[in-house]
């Protein structure tokens, strides 16, 4: 059967939500970005991936976060994206904001990892082929490389923009001092760092504590938070046990052994606060991240459109009163993963 041509929802920008400005730039992003780390690789049902991407776009989500090695099956999340893009989204490319990255292990040997010019240049070409895109909107150094001169990694990013393979550059998980150097270096070469990407959620507040969030804001970059739901821990996903189709059951980056009774008791308390606020725990967790000044967007993962629908209700986040916030943060501070 010939598949009907995808017609996006005409009201997709009518929710009334204001898109957030990404630092000192012309780019605006939805509160939520869709992440492809899990659930879009070669083991994920293609139909479901397509459904989630269309569901997101139909609701005004424009920002899609990829990396070379997302899968499982390195490269396969980008291939899934490329396949669906070709079938459904090509006509809407200019409405989309697509990111990819290189920095972690991708192919064997000395040139498929870390931050060399050789790795970044080869990797973006591969990623463009897999995603069937002509350019990325933003291309990131996925992690700080303590061995490669920072100038080499950063100049590769600058040259990627100058070659037209990406419109903007970003850095992910760079420590404070190196990030400060990167902001200066990139600014001086007229390719200011558009986005800084790092983890921020109720139980991992390192970027607040070590000054990264402040530094990003002062430097005019946007901050985009990953794992805002702590891979599903800060939701109701594990409150009644470990579901067979859950990330913890897959045991790759989140292990069943991490979902202890003590952890669930504390998450249950957070769930109680969320309910009293009239939110799901996922919504409250996202609202908390989105309430931080300087946060441009949160990148959510999901394994169903129902999860994304739930998370979408956290947009234009509900504020917290100070007593409530203190209690929520105190409970969250006792959770270790
Ligand atoms: N730059 C980096 O180094 C880096 C590192 C990590 C992630 N990232 C990016 O950030 C993205 C998000 O990270 P993440 O996947 O860890 O994010 P997350 O949003 O913290 O966790 C996503 C998981 O939470 C569960 N979930 C999502 N919405 C839910 C809801 N409303 N109710 C109940 N459960 C829900 C799902 O678990 P189940 O799958 O079990 O259903 C989903 O897979 C990644 O896809 C990637 O694009 C970047």
Can you give the pTM of this predicted structure?
0.98
- Beta carbon of 170 within 6 Å of any ligand 1 atom: no
Q: Are 294 and 223 within 8 A, CB to CB?
A: yes
Instruction: Pick left, alpha or beta for residue 134 (phi over 0 → left; psi -120 to 50 → alpha; otherwise beta).
Output: alpha
- From the CB of 230, is ligand 1 less than 6 Å away? yes
pLDDT in tens, 124-157: 999 999 999 999 999 999 999 999 999 999 999 9
Q: Are 113 and 120 in contact (CB under 8 A)?
A: no
Residue that has been written with the tokens 């006792």 in this structure: 334
Q: Which residues contact 285 (CB under 8 A, 6 or more apart)?
A: 201, 202, 228, 229, 230, 234, 235, 270, 274, 314
At 279 the three-state DSSP class reads coil
- CA nearest 335: which of 218, 175, 146, 205? 205
Distance CA 190, CA 284 (A): 38
From ligand 1's centre to the CA of 181, what distance in Å?
Answer: 30
Nearest alpha-carbon partner for 101 in 80, 70, 130: 70
Among 232, 282, 311, the mutation site with the greatest number of ligand 1 atoms within 8 A of its Cβ is 232
User: Is 297 near ligand 1, meaning CB less than 6 Å away?
Assistant: no
Give bridge partners of residue 35 from the DSSP assignment: 65
β strands within 181-321, DSSP E: 193-199, 222-226, 295-300
Give domain limits for the chain. Answer: 19-236+283-316
Options 3.40.50.720, 3.90.1710.10, 3.20.20.100, 3.40.50.2000; CATH of 19-236+283-316: 3.20.20.100
**Residue 106 tokens, joined:** 């991708």
CA–CA–CA angle 16, 17, 19 (5° rounding): 130
User: Using one digit for the tens of pLDDT, what is the confidence trace for 34-91?
Assistant: 999 999 999 999 999 999 999 999 999 999 999 999 999 999 999 999 999 999 999 9
Atom 14 of ligand 1 has which residue's CA nearest to it? 227
Length of the chain, in residues = 337
Instruction: Determine if ligand 1 sits within 6 Å of the CB of residue 303.
Output: yes
Residue 41, ligand 1, Cβ within 6 A: no
**pLDDT recorded at residue 223:** 98
Q: What is the pLDDT along the chain (337 residues), one digit of tens a residue?
A: 677 899 999 999 999 888 999 999 999 999 999 999 999 999 999 999 999 999 999 999 999 999 999 999 999 999 999 999 999 999 999 999 999 999 999 999 999 999 999 999 999 999 999 999 999 999 999 999 999 999 999 999 999 999 999 999 999 999 999 999 999 999 999 999 999 999 999 999 999 999 999 999 999 999 999 999 999 999 999 999 999 999 999 999 999 999 999 999 999 999 999 999 999 999 999 999 999 999 999 999 999 999 999 999 988 667 999 999 999 999 999 999 8
């Amino acid at each position: 059967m010939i598949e009907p041509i995808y017609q996006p929802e005409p009201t997709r920008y009518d929710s009334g939500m204001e898109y957030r400005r990404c630092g000192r730039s012309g780019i605006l992003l939805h509160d939520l970005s869709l992440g492809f780390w899990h659930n879009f690789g070669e083991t994920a049902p293609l139909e479901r991936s397509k459904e989630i991407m269309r569901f997101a776009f139909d609701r005004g989500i424009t920002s899609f976060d990829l990396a070379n090695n997302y899968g499982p099956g390195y490269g396969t999340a980008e291939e899934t994206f490329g396949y669906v893009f070709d079938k459904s989204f090509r006509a809407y490319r200019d409405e989309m904001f697509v990111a990819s990255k290189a920095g972690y292990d991708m192919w064997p040997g000395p040139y498929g990892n870390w931050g060399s010019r050789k790795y970044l240049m080869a990797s973006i070409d591969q990623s463009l082929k897999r995603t069937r895109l002509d350019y990325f909107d933003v291309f990131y150094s996925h992690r700080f490389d303590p061995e490669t001169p920072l100038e080499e990694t950063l100049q590769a990013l600058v040259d990627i923009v100058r070659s037209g393979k990406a419109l903007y550059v970003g850095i992910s998980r760079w420590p404070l001092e190196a990030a400060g150097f990167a902001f200066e270096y990139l600014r001086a070469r007229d390719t200011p760092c558009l986005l800084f990407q790092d983890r921020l959620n109720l139980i991992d507040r390192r970027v607040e504590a070590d000054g990264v969030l402040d530094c990003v804001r002062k430097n005019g970059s946007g901050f985009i938070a990953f794992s805002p739901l702590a891979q599903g821990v800060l939701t109701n996903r594990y409150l009644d046990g470990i579901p067979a189709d859950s990330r913890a059951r897959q045991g790759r980056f989140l292990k069943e052994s991490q979902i202890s009774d003590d952890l669930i008791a504390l998450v249950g308390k957070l769930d109680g606060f969320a309910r009293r606020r009239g939110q799901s725990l996922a919504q409250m967790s996202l609202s908390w991240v989105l309430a931080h000044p300087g946060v441009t967007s949160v990148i959510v993962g999901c394994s169903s459109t129902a999860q994304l629908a739930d998370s979408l209700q956290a947009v234009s986040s509900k504020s917290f009163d100070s007593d409530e916030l203190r209690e929520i943060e105190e409970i969250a501070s006792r959770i270790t993963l």
